[in-house]
Chains A and B, each alone.
Chain A
């Protein structure tokens, strides 16, 4: 077979994710892959991750729905309501499905601080749903900061005693996609990888290396300012935002290149510090988000 010389493929994380998705959907179309069932469970959180997923492009949400997964349960979007909705959730236990969870698991009072529905007259707690479905799922995604480690829901003093999904499914392997919210590309790209060639390679904290391998700081367009010690004094400045509290040096994501909302902007591009929303420990470990009184230059003795 004749081989054509092709121009070199783009190797940015975005390009890889896009080509993964395209390959996955092509394979589905050609019958190489089966569309898989997806259960999207919203627990103790703000439902911001599902909104972020609706913001996805390449693949967009429509495409995901039509070509990649059969979305079988999603509180924010499904037509059914009440017990009929909850029944759909229970029916999944007899089938093969991928489980995606956003929001933390509230432990207080046996999980009754987060009731996600009722079944046969009894309240169904987020805790029950997470353990029940997590036990049966073929793959589990913890989507967003609340699901990966408790996130906002677990911020001090953690009134609902919220924890990350892993804590209630200790023996289960899961892929963790931190972020507040998750970037749609991180979720859909990981999903595509799973459909195409199994679970993606992850680091020791279960984050896909594809998206979470590199410190923001190491690819920050404002890095030269840091290296020269030229620091922003206030928001809106165009230099390094380190002294205002930038958590780019401790946060691993591809934000500098992928950016947000189809790549139009990102927090540092908006002249504000990264607040480390994709770092484990967010928000408490990443606070304060913005400080104006950090020492910029120590008067030389």
Chain B
């Protein structure tokens, strides 16, 4: 479990760096810098590929199959400390969770169910996100696709998403 968390963190760092590089690439007019950035993006991509394979191996060894919400047992007793910072424990890309919009709706953050939201096709876990107290955020409730809302309220703040654990894709 610990390893998976570490890999995820590394992946997230790389993704953030790649985003930043792409942004700079779009803005800069300096040819030399462009070359450098493209080179670094290639490197980043290789690293992500490597980490992805590693993650897939780890996941298949340590984790049972992904369970549907009706299989989740609500655990009301505070037996262990849940993670706050993004140290994901959810299975990742290799056996990526694919959720339909109906399935997503079940993750409303109530009665033991996790709180998920989708932005641009990616499903994020906001169960313990500090801006999502009681699985609500400025009048929005968890379990829905908020691509439009994110675009209108957090334009130019894509980096916000980098700190939120990813759980899968919306199909």
Interface residues of A (CB under 8 A from B): 217, 226-231, 233, 242-247, 249-250, 273, 281, 284-288, 291, 293-301
Contacts and interface: CB of A to CB of B under 8 A. Distances in A.
Given A297-B75, A299-B75, A285 B139 contact: yes
A287 B73 contact: no
Contacts of A294: 109-110, 133-135
A228 B72 CA distance: 23
18 contacts: A226-B130, A227-B84, A233-B76, A243-B133, A246-B133, A249-B130, A249-B131, A250-B131, A291-B134, A291-B135, A295-B135, A296-B75, A296-B76, A296-B82, A297-B75, A297-B80, A299-B73, A301-B64
B156 interface: no
A98 to B, nearest CB: 32
B155 interface: no
Nearest to A280: B138
B139 A295 contact: no
Given A295-B127, A297-B75, 20 more contacts: A227-B84, A230-B78, A231-B78, A242-B130, A242-B133, A245-B134, A246-B133, A250-B138, A281-B138, A287-B139, A288-B136, A294-B133, A295-B111, A295-B135, A296-B78, A297-B112, A298-B112, A298-B113, A298-B114, A301-B72
Given A242-B133, A281-B138, A301 B63 contact: yes
A297 B82 contact: yes
Contacts of A291: 134-135
**What are the 4 A-B residue pairs with the smallest beta carbon separation, nearest first?**
A245-B134, A249-B130, A291-B134, A285-B138
B115 interface: yes
Nearest to B130: A249
A293 B110 contact: yes
A295 B90 CA distance: 16
Q: How large is the interface on B (under 10, 10 to 19, 20 to 34, 35 or more residues)?
A: 35 or more
Contacts of B21: none
A301 B130 contact: no
Contact of A229 (B128, B131, B135): B128
Contacts of A228: 81, 84
A296 B73 CA distance: 12
B2 interface: no
A280 to B, nearest CB: 9
Nearest to B64: A301
Contacts of A281: 138-139
Contact of B134 (A217, A230, A244, A284): A244
B110 A298 contact: no
B125 to A, nearest CB: 8
A228 B109 CA distance: 19
B136 A229 contact: no
B82 A229 contact: yes
Contacts of B113: 295, 298
Contacts of B80: 297
